[in-house]
Chain A
Amino acid sequence: MTGSVAGGVVTATTSSLTLGGALVSGGAVAGIGTAAAVTSVFAGGLVGSAVSQVVGKALGAVESFSLRKAVAGGFTSVASAGIAGALKGSKSFIEGAKKGALNNLGRAVSGASNVIAGAAANKIVGLPSGFRWANVVANASTGYIGGRFGLSDQDSLFAGVTGGGFSQDFFSGVANSALNYAVTKGVFNEGSWNTRSVVANAFGSAIGNSIVAELSLTKEQKELRKVQNEIEKLKDKLAGDDVANRKVLDQLSKNDTGNSSVPVDAKDRVITIQGDDSLRKFKLRDLSPEEVAKLPQSERLKYGYNALADVYIQQEAAINLLEDGGVGVIQDIVNAANNKDDYNPFLLFAGLSPEHASNLFETHGANEFGSILRDRISQTSANMGAFLETARMFANDIDGLLIHGPNAFENLMLMDGDKVATLGLTSIAGTIGAFTGFGAMVQNGSLDNDVRTLRAMSQIGIMAVSESGFRIDNALNTIGESVSMGLWSRGESGSGGEFAAFGLLRGSALKRIGQQFAKIGRGIKTGVGRIWSGAGSAVKSLTGKIGGYLNKLKAKFGPNQMPLGFGGTSDFKLFGKSLHGGLDAAGFKNVDAAFQGSSVTGRAFKAPHDPFDVGRVSDFDIALSSEGLFEKARDVGVGLRAKGTRTGPLSLEKTPDLLERMGLTQLSAQLALDAGRPVNFMIFKSIDDAISRSQSIILPRP
């Protein structure tokens, strides 16, 4: 149901229409198609009119309350919603192809029609119609001019459910009345300005809008509301735990686990995996599972985050070692597999049992076995990274709460409630997504079932999806479970556990900063994508910009990376050589290229965000950019999008004609053949535009 009541345009100044009848401005109304929708709009109009009358009476603008006027307000609102919906069916009245928004002309027609609807509604309930052509013209002008100035811009917040909340609706109503008066007086020399009537009218309309907005909430918006309620509960809970939480923070601050003395190579990459005493000194981690279970929830959150962050850092170190360690590293891993070492970190991170690993080595040989290990670890690492980022955002919220006092959260809510709620949703969605990713890998056989840590993660993911949905308390429990899981894994190893024994591995401060930027970028991008439908557009825009900026940093300065889907570094380099060679041959020199999509993120674009190549073939999405290439695309008629900064996707299957005109048919076919999967291009005006749009791995020029 998308109908809504917003921005009353009743001509209270001329006292010609039903006072306070909430009317539809049409800014984002898609029409009312169901009985429930009609009922909610009618209720909004009726109550809006009633409230206007009550307020008007209090202000002395109305002599007595009229139920007929209130009912007329309801009818008028329904008719207005219907008119706006009908207008949306015509391209002449909507803003381009954008769904849900009338253009200024549409607003003008809607405004004029509302006067007629109001007159008809008055007649239905037995009141004088109050119809005047001057009002028709005034309302049409108000709709048009108001649209030009952004009054009642229903796209501004909350996906167009209202004009942006009660206060915006109210002031919008006052501004519209002022415009209406200006036109009526200026053109027809009619009407009079009555501040009391205007205020009463705007107040009633805003109330009516709020009622319809409440009844019109989509499923996602209701979830958002639930999350906000959960945040309130969490706030109360945390206030109770404040003393205990402060102790935890003190303890954490005294146990900095940072260590910059880990051996690194000339490229500033960790070159060995070894223990770190600082981790052992971290007393919190010596607690038993039972003791952890007794900790306040926020404390467990921090504990779990740090334990899993260790794993993530080591996953990255393991990938580096596999790339640079040569045969010696592989041989060590094979020896561990032959010795049935369940807790060899490489096998653990790759989700391989020792038996499976031995078989893979015998079947494929050392080089390919190394590539398989690296690809598998990259997949699990990507999932872990997303999870950690969302957990970190949560942890920071709690830090803020504890450091700034019990009222900090409330203040934050007052300052920017949407942001806080969005953050909560992001965290939960990311958590569920990450664990679901692990779960999917286990279920699809990508990871061995006998690796207990990952199996536990899978179970947590399934639980999160099937039982908890978007609930903050369950997400916290999920993270708490992670802690128990980490402890349990440690206990099973008999020697302090791998998570503890291998400790934290860190490169230089620069490397750490780079990793943080990379993770933040990935987390924000992931989160924004998942809550797109429920978040406000303002928040979306802000986080999108931050995500884009961080993506740029990561693509340009992050550690060397390789997209998923390649057998090894040599295959990746060969692919790059073919791409750039083919572009050169087609006459396009110095083209920048970047991988995008699931080969970079490790997960599908849409929920449930399955891992790369699991359950279906993941394509290679490649962004291309050079001045010559972009001009050629434009010259041969490739349509531009996103304010002229990029083309749409180009592929052999969807746009063979355009690729042919670009002279890229042969190259596209050859790359698909080489990669064993479809290759899709998108041409950008600049590579920065591409990187800002989506997480990317730049393909080095040969």
Chain B
Amino acid sequence: MLYGVETGELDNFRDEMEKILDVSFSAHESEYHGGEYFRLAEMDLNVILQENFMEDDGEVTEAEFPEQELLIYISGDEIRVCEVSDVLRKNNFSLLKSSTY
């Protein structure tokens, strides 16, 4: 699932998300993720917080949603993903897209 936030700064957003979800994100770095990003990796749940950064082709990472500055990717066990998704919805985050496989 992909959620978005229209304005914000990544470091502060990490703090906010840690409070909302009561978890702790670890800091990572990847050129493919646009530099520093934050990651929650559990056995049955993965959450990524990153910027919707401008890539070398002149479009942002999630080009369908250029107005979103920050992105939240959630994957893993369906039940856990739904739990996190519920919390985010209650906190007025925008669901951008979801897929199952």
* Chain A interfacial positions (CB closer than 8 Å to B): 96-99, 596-598, 604-606, 610, 615-619, 621, 641-643, 648-649, 651-654, 656-657, 660-661, 678, 680, 682, 693-694
Contact = CB atoms under 8 A, between A and B. Distances in A.
Q: How many interface residues does chain B have, given as a range?
A: 20 to 34
B35 A604 contact: yes
Contacts of A605: 29-31, 34-35
Contact of A680 (B30, B60, B63, B75): B30
Interface of B: 26-36, 39, 41, 46-48, 55-61, 63-64, 66, 73, 75, 99-101
A666 to B, nearest CB: 14
Contacts, number: 94
27 contacts: A96-B59, A97-B60, A98-B59, A597-B31, A598-B30, A598-B31, A605-B35, A610-B29, A616-B28, A617-B28, A618-B28, A619-B28, A621-B31, A621-B32, A641-B55, A642-B57, A643-B57, A653-B47, A653-B48, A653-B73, A656-B46, A656-B101, A657-B99, A660-B101, A678-B30, A680-B30, A680-B32
Contact of A657 (B29, B33, B100): B100
Given A616-B27, A619-B28, A656-B75, A648 B66 contact: no
A649 B100 CA distance: 18
B63 A616 contact: no
Contacts of B61: 648
Q: Which 10 A-B pairs have the closest CB atoms?
A: A606-B35, A616-B27, A597-B31, A649-B32, A642-B57, A619-B30, A657-B101, A653-B46, A97-B66, A605-B35
Contacts of B56: 642, 693
A606 B36 CA distance: 7
B13 to A, nearest CB: 16
B18 to A, nearest CB: 15
B96 to A, nearest CB: 13
B32 A597 contact: yes
Interface centre among A597, A654, A680 (most CB of B within 10 A): A654
A618 B30 contact: yes
Nearest to A639: B63
Contacts of A596: 31-32
Contacts of A678: 28, 30, 39, 41
B32 to A, nearest CB: 4
A654 B48 contact: yes
Given A598-B29, A619-B30, A649-B32, 14 more contacts: A97-B63, A97-B66, A98-B58, A98-B59, A598-B31, A606-B34, A616-B28, A618-B29, A618-B30, A621-B30, A661-B101, A678-B30, A678-B41, A680-B30
Interface centre among B29, B31, B60 (most CB of A within 10 A): B31
A682 B61 CA distance: 13
A652 B28 CA distance: 15
Contact of A649 (B33, B36, B39): B33
A641 B57 contact: yes
Contact of B26 (A99, A616, A618, A656): A616
Nearest to A660: B101
Contacts of B57: 641-643
Nearest to A680: B32
Nearest to A695: B31
Contacts of A649: 30, 32-33
A656 B78 CA distance: 13
B31 A654 contact: no
A598 B64 CA distance: 28
A643 B75 CA distance: 28
A653 B63 contact: no
A97 B59 contact: yes
Contacts of B101: 656-657, 660-661
A680 B39 CA distance: 13
A547 to B, nearest CB: 11
Contact of B32 (A616, A652, A682): A682
Nearest to A665: B101
Contacts of B36: 604, 606, 616
A540 to B, nearest CB: 10
A613 to B, nearest CB: 8
A621 B59 CA distance: 20
Contacts of B35: 604-606
B66 A99 contact: yes
Contact of B41 (A642, A653, A680): A653
A643 B58 CA distance: 11
